[in-house]
Structure 1
Amino acid sequence: MNAVIIAVLIMLILSLVRVHVVIALAIGALAGGLIGGLGFDQTVSIFSEGLGGSATVAISYALLGAFAVAIARTGLPEVMVNGVIRLVGKKGDSKKKLLSKALIFFLLALISCFSQNIVPIHIAFIPILIPPILNLLNQLGVDRRAVATILTFGLTAPYIFLPYGFGAIFHGIVADNMEENGMTIELAQIPQAMLIPTIGLIVGLLFAVFVTYRKDRHYEDRAIIGSSEQTQSFTAWSITAAILAIVATLVVQTISESMIIAALAGLVVLIGSGVLKWKESDHVVTEGMKMMAFISFVMLTASGFAAVIRETGHVDLLVTQTASIVGESQAAAALLMLVIGLFITMGIGSSFATIPIIATLFVPLGMAAGFSPLAIIALIGTAGALGDAGAPASDSTLGPTAGLNADGQHNHIWDTCVPTFLHFNIPLFIFGWVAAMVL
């Protein structure tokens, strides 16, 4: 039995039967460590040490939650929602309702795509933008699973294809790790290799929006976690301060490449402007941390899980077993390589973190099977994207859940991970395999 496969399967099965994903990750790590021969004490030790790997990310999300709640206190979200409602018009106008849903979907896709390449802030926009428009989405009958797929698409497709922002980092990691394992490539080859897998993501997105989640879905109008029960009053100065705080956050994030510093900058602007009262700041920060606590704890636990999986050494064993199975068949090799990539990235949840592991395995295996450099790039990039697009521990799924579940009506596994897995991982798998065959 391979510890990687068993650990990931246990984690996924427990998550699907609604065991909390943090508990599922911890149990999966323990099972993987024991099967991998680490022993109970060593597994617990490695898991505990690995928790620190995502400490920075966890604190970043907690502070972003605080900043989102602080922005809500300025009245800016209310102004935004009122403006969209005026655009929507009467609820009974079915044609205008359809056009309004299309406009919202387009804007969400555009903003999430921009967050990867043009203004690389990743999921920082979600807790600010999504919670205030939930009641509006309810009025339009929008199925939040469609919104989850739109957001995850925007958080995944741009960086695997376009070499800008986070895409430049991702492409650099792919190229560097392939070179370290004996295959030198040009950065310009990566978009060419990732074109077909990206088309797979587009196909999955269109199917989700226009077929699977096309019909209306009913949600209750509930208060947003951390929001005041009273209607937020706002002034021209409070709106101006909110806009300045958001601009400051974006600029600082771009310059410092730190979500922690960016969120702090936004909070400082709001407090310094007087819009957020000093005596209220403690409560606001606490409520914001509550809103984002889920994603923070999952990321911490996922780091411990990944540390245990790597320490077992069964990732290399998985490759050896695969090589002995496929023989000289390229079709079988590509298929099993993607299966390996799926298990590794679904467990670790981050394409950036798993590319070094995948490249170490895929480059020699791909060369032995006779794949071209473009085909190996496609296999490595697709395997990385599989984790970001559908893993319970990926911030590309956790981010949308944090925003869409701000009123407690969106389940992370069944409303985000299952929809994104079905609509993105399946097309990625198929189109990635096709890319490996034709390139």
Structure 2
Amino acid sequence: MFDRYQAGEQAILVHIDFPDENAREDLQEFEMLVSSAGINALNVLTGKRNTPHTKFFVGSGKAQEIAEAVNLYQADVILFNHSLSPSQEKNIEALCQCRVVDRTTLILDIFAQRARTHEGKLQVELAQLRHVSTRLIRGWTHLERQKGGIGLRGPGETQLETDRRLIRERMVNIRKRLEKVERQRQQGRRARNRAEIPTVSLVGYTNAGKSTLFNMITNAEVYAADQLFATLDPTLRKIHVEEVGRVILADTVGFIRHLPHDLVAAFKATLTETREAELLLHVVDISDERRSENIEQVEEVLTEIEAGEVPQLLICNKIDNLDDIEPRIDRDENGMPIRVWLSARAGIGIELLFEALAERLGRQIVNHHLKIPPNAGKFRGELYQLNCIADEQYDEQGNCHLQIKLPAKEWNRLVKQDKTVIEGFIEN
């Protein structure tokens, strides 16, 4: 049902410059998308127009030039760095006798390649179905009525109508399954809220280095590569931040210019981790000349998913690609961290990130001296798991004297387990 690419397919790329900023796309980014999809670009055809051509998008003369390039290079597919209407795709295919794929379909296909989890695959399929439902007529206009013969004559149902009905049914089924997954995610979030564990979400433009930073902080093995949309499925890991305690860190899908609305809608459940986070780490490739534009695009998507009001800490990544830039923390007029300069790949400035997290997430800290009897080793082990023990001594009776330092919320959670016993451990 979907346009699928085989690795190594040969393509002609088409890019048109428009004076309208909202219609303008980036050619270099498009070439990275093509490379990420595993497609070999044979030639790039560029041009300028004030507005898209109604029939061919590019104008009749440029359309003929594309057809000649397809014959010359024996291309398998024509890739447009723009969103085309179904009729424009059909007209160009008829003229060039070659498959035509627009920017939106290309991004959807890359997402389909990257999806690993059951939820991710469902979300991508839902986005693809939404997109392809407007383009079914391309493949089925040649088919006649299915029904015919004595006793069966009448309006019947065309193949096109059948496919639309099947797609609607499939979309309903996928939505139900995604709602079930979302309920499971909500249960996990409620459990974290009850335990008062804050969530920090990594966001940023695609290929900004989010997964590399995630792996560096958590010692995870999330797939990270120098390509667009290397990460698709969200990953959650628990980390420890000094004077804060346990923190959940979430790695999420990267954003891009003009991210298809079907994708944003399909990934609403996944992006809830971003919307409900206590803090967003906005990772920026500081060595990218388009960093300001990338930041604006990320802000637009965050606003679209209702996460624009979540507090942010800007992470200026890849400082190893620049000269004379040292890792540092930039602060506002109140002394609160607003930017951290680091390199996730080189492991430079990671300790500054943890320092900034401690300050941004810092809450009331309690200090206690505890006397733990020998038969309360389980409670002592739980304190070690919280990484809150500052000093430990033993007396002649085998009692363990601990000096602990941890967030007040963590201590209150422990006291709730058995208030009488735990408060009896406190030394005056």
More helix by share: 1
Please confirm whether the aligned pair reaches a TM-score higher than 0.5, indicating the same fold. no
TM norm structure 2: 0.25
Return the index of the structure with the highest Cα Rg: 2
More strand by share: 2
TM norm structure 1: 0.24
